[in-house]
C-alpha cells in the first residue's frame, strides 16, 4: 500500500464528519431488473445538488484557513462541480468565482445561482471547459484565491470517498465487483480506496466512455496525456487529461477497464428508468452501462454501480430515446433497393419483414424505376442475420446503413419533378405487430395505380404510431377516387386524413 493511498484513506476518514454534518447518507437501492447478477445502485442523484460532486468541494472548502476564506475561491466547471462549489460557498460563507464556458445551458447557470446566491459570481468565458479553466487559473495567479479542483486534489477526493463509506455502512455488502465511472478519476480513486480496505476481495472496474478514455491513454503512455478531444455526450466525465494524483491512485487501485459507447449509455438510462423509475444523467449511467455490457461475465455476483448524478438537460432525453433499444433489442437500419412500382414495398414487408419489429421508415422518391427504402428494425444479432439471409434469397439489393449521417439526421429527400399528382396523408396507426401491414394492404385495395412516393415514420414509444405518407397518382381523377374510397379509420389504424396543402386541395376537387 503506497503512501499516497494511505493519505487518501486518511482524508476520507477525516472528511466524514464534515460531509455528514451537511446531508444524510444517500440510499443504496437494488436494480429491479432480470439480470444474471444482483446490481446495487448508489443513489447520488438524491444528494443536495442531485450529484456527488458537492462532497469533494465542500470538504475542501471547509478546510480553508480563515485567511483563505476571506480572499475567496475560484473554480471552473460547466456542471455538477460548479453547483457543489456554489453550495459550499453559501454554507460556509465564502465568496466564489466560477468560470463556465459560454455555451453552458441556462438551466445549469441558474442552478449555480440558486445554490450559491450572493456568494457566487459566474463568469462565462470561452467556448469549452479548457478555455474556462485556463481563465480560472489566470484569475488564481492574479487574485491569490484558492483554486478548487474538481478531482485532482486529495481533500476533494476525500470528500467524494464518503459515498463509499455510506455503501459499506448500508450493510448490503460485501460486493464482488464495483463499476466506477472515470472522468478525471477522483471519484473512482476515492471509492476504490475505501472499498478495497473494507472488501479486500472486491474487483474494481473503471468505466470510461468511448472518445473520452483519458485514464486508459495515461496508462498506455505511463503518465497523464491530453486527448486531442473528448466526446461530450457523457458530459460529466468529458475530461481530456487525467490528474497526476488520480493517475497514480487509479494505476494502483483499478483492476481493469471497460469502455462503453454512447448507445450503451442510452440503453442504460432507459433500463434504469424501466427498472426503478429513476432518470439519471448520461455519465451517471455509465456504471450500469458497463454492467449490462458485461452481462454473463458477472453472473451470480453482487455488483455495485454509482448513479453519480441526475442533472440532465431535458432536451437530451430525445436523443437518448432515439438511440436506446426497443423492447430490449438494438436498432438497425437497412436500405433496400426495390422496383418503383405499386405494391413493391408491401411485397417486401410480407416476404422478408414479417416477423421483424419495424421502428422506422424513411423514403422519398428520387428515381423513376428504383426506390431506396430505409427501414429501421429492433433486432438482436441472430434476427438481423436471419433478415439479411431472407433479403439475399429474394435477390433484393440492400445495405446496413446504421450510423449513416443521413439516416441519423433523418434526411428524407424526394424529387418533386417526378411526382404527378401526390396526396400526402397523416396516418395514426396502432403500435402492434401487423397494424401497419394491414393499412398498406388497404392502400393496395383502394388505390388505383397509386404508388408510395414518401414515407416518414419513427417509433416514439407511444401506443399510436404517427406517419406522414405520400402517394402519387397518374391522374387527378385517380387521386380523387382514392380520397373518396379511403376510410378515415379502420382495422389497424385510428385515423387517416389528407394533409392540408395546395396539392391535396386540388385533388379534393
What's the pLDDT tens digit per position in 94-123?
Answer: 999 999 988 887 888 999 999 999 999 999
Q: For position 1, what pLDDT does the model report?
A: 54
For residue 385, give the 3-state DSSP assignment. Answer: helix
Q: Which CATH class is domain 3-51+156-323?
A: alpha beta
Q: How high does pLDDT run on average in the chain? A: 93
Rounded to whole angstroms, the Cα distance separating 240 from 184 reads 8
- pTM for the model stands at 0.87
If you average pLDDT over residues 307-311, what whole number do you get?
A: 95
Q: For position 508, what pLDDT does the model report?
A: 46
Pick the CATH number of 55-149 from 3.40.50.12280, 3.40.1080.20, 1.10.10.10, 3.40.50.1100: 3.40.50.1100
Rounded to whole angstroms, the Cα distance separating 31 from 485 reads 52
What's the pLDDT tens digit per position in 196-207?
Answer: 999 999 999 999
Q: For position 501, what pLDDT does the model report?
A: 59
- Residues annotated as catalytic (active site), given as ranges: 53, 308
**Torsion sign, CA atoms 218, 222, 226, 227:** negative
Bridge partners for 121 per DSSP: 97
Which residues make up the CATH 3.40.1020.10 domain(s) of the chain? Answer: 332-508
What's the pLDDT tens digit per position in 166-178?
Answer: 999 999 989 999 9
What's the pLDDT tens digit per position in 330-367?
Answer: 899 999 999 998 888 989 988 998 778 899 999 999 99
Which residues make up the CATH 3.40.50.1100 domain(s) of the chain? Answer: 3-51+156-323, 55-149
If you average pLDDT over residues 132-155, what whole number do you get?
A: 96
Rounded to whole angstroms, the Cα distance separating 104 from 268 reads 25
Q: For position 189, what pLDDT does the model report?
A: 98
Cell of 92: 460556509
Report whether pLDDT(414) > 80: yes
Q: For position 330, what pLDDT does the model report?
A: 86
Report whether pLDDT(328) > 80: no
Query: What phi and psi, each to the nearest 5 degrees, are found at residue 156?
Result: -65, -45
If you average pLDDT over residues 29-54, what whole number do you get?
A: 97
If you average pLDDT over residues 198-220, what whole number do you get?
A: 97
Rounded to whole angstroms, the Cα distance separating 287 from 234 reads 12
When pLDDT is cut at 50, 70 and 90, the band that residue 509 belongs to is very low
Question: What's the CATH number for 332-508?
Answer: 3.40.1020.10
Whole-number Cα distances in Å, 502 to 199, 424, 505:
72, 11, 5
Amino acid at each position: 500500500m503506497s503512501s499516497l493511498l494511505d493519505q487518501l484513506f486518511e482524508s476520507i476518514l477525516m472528511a466524514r464528519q464534515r460531509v455528514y454534518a451537511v446531508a444524510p447518507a444517500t440510499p443504496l437501492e437494488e436494480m429491479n431488473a432480470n439480470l444474471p447478477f444482483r446490481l446495487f445502485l448508489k443513489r447520488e442523484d438524491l444528494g443536495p445538488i442531485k450529484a456527488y460532486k458537492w462532497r469533494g468541494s465542500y470538504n475542501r472548502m471547509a478546510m480553508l484557513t480563515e485567511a483563505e476564506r476571506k480572499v475567496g475561491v475560484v473554480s471552473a466547471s460547466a456542471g455538477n462541480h460548479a453547483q457543489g462549489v456554489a453550495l459550499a460557498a453559501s454554507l460556509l460563507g465564502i465568496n466564489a468565482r466560477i468560470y463556465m464556458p459560454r455555451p453552458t445551458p441556462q438551466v445549469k447557470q441558474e442552478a449555480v445561482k440558486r445554490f450559491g446566491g450572493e456568494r457566487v459570481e459566474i463568469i462565462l468565458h470561452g467556448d469549452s471547459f479548457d478555455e474556462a479553466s485556463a481563465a480560472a487559473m489566470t484569475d488564481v495567479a492574479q487574485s491569490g484565491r484558492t483554486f478548487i479542483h474538481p478531482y485532482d486534489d486529495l481533500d476533494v477526493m476525500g470528500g467524494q470517498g464518503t459515498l463509499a463509506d455510506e455503501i459499506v455502512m448500508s450493510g448490503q455488502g460485501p460486493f464482488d465487483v464495483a463499476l466506477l465511472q472515470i472522468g478525471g478519476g477522483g471519484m473512482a480513486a476515492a471509492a476504490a480506496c475505501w472499498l478495497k480496505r473494507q472488501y479486500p476481495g472486491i474487483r474494481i472496474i473503471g468505466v470510461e466512455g468511448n472518445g473520452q478514455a483519458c485514464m486508459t491513454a495515461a496508462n498506455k503512455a505511463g503518465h497523464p496525456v491530453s486527448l486531442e478531444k473528448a466526446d461530450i455526450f457523457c458530459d460529466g466525465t468529458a475530461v481530456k487529461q487525467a490528474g497526476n494524483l488520480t493517475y497514480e491512485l487509479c494505476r494502483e487501485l483499478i483492476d481493469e477497464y471497460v469502455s462503453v459507447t454512447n448507445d450503451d449509455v442510452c440503453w442504460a438510462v432507459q433500463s434504469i428508468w424501466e427498472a426503478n423509475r429513476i432518470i439519471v444523467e448520461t455519465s451517471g449511467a455509465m456504471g450500469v452501462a458497463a454492467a449490462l455490457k458485461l452481462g454473463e461475465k458477472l453472473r451470480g455476483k453482487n455488483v455495485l454501480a454509482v448513479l453519480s448524478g441526475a442533472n440532465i438537460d431535458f432536451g437530451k432525453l430525445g436523443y437518448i430515446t432515439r438511440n436506446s433499444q426497443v423492447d430490449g433489442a438494438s436498432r438497425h437500419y437497412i436500405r433496400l433497393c426495390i422496383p418503383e412500382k405499386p405494391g413493391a414495398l408491401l411485397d417486401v414487408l410480407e416476404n422478408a419483414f414479417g416477423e421483424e419489429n419495424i421502428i422506422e421508415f424513411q423514403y422519398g422518391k428520387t428515381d423513376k424505376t428504383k426506390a431506396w427504402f430505409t427501414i429501421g428494425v429492433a433486432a438482436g444479432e441472430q434476427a438481423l442475420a436471419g433478415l439479411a439471409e431472407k433479403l439475399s434469397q429474394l435477390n433484393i439489393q440492400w445495405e446496413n446503413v446504421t450510423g449513416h449521417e443521413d439516416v441519423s439526421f433523418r434526411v428524407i429527400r424526394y424529387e418533386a419533378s417526378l411526382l404527378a399528382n401526390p396526396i400526402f396523408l397523416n396516418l395514426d396507426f396502432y403500435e402492434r405487430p401487423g397494424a401497419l401491414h394491414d393499412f398498406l394492404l388497404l392502400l393496395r385495395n383502394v388505390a388505383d395505380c397509386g404508388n408510395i412516393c414518401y414515407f416518414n415514420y419513427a417509433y416514439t414509444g407511444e401506443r399510436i404510431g404517427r406517419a406522414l405518407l405520400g402517394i402519387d397518382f397518374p391522374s387527378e381523377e385517380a387521386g380523387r377516387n382514392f380520397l373518396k374510397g379511403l376510410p378515415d379509420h379502420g382495422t389497424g389504424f385510428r385515423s387517416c386524413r389528407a394533409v392540408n396543402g395546395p396539392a391535396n386541395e386540388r385533388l379534393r376537387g
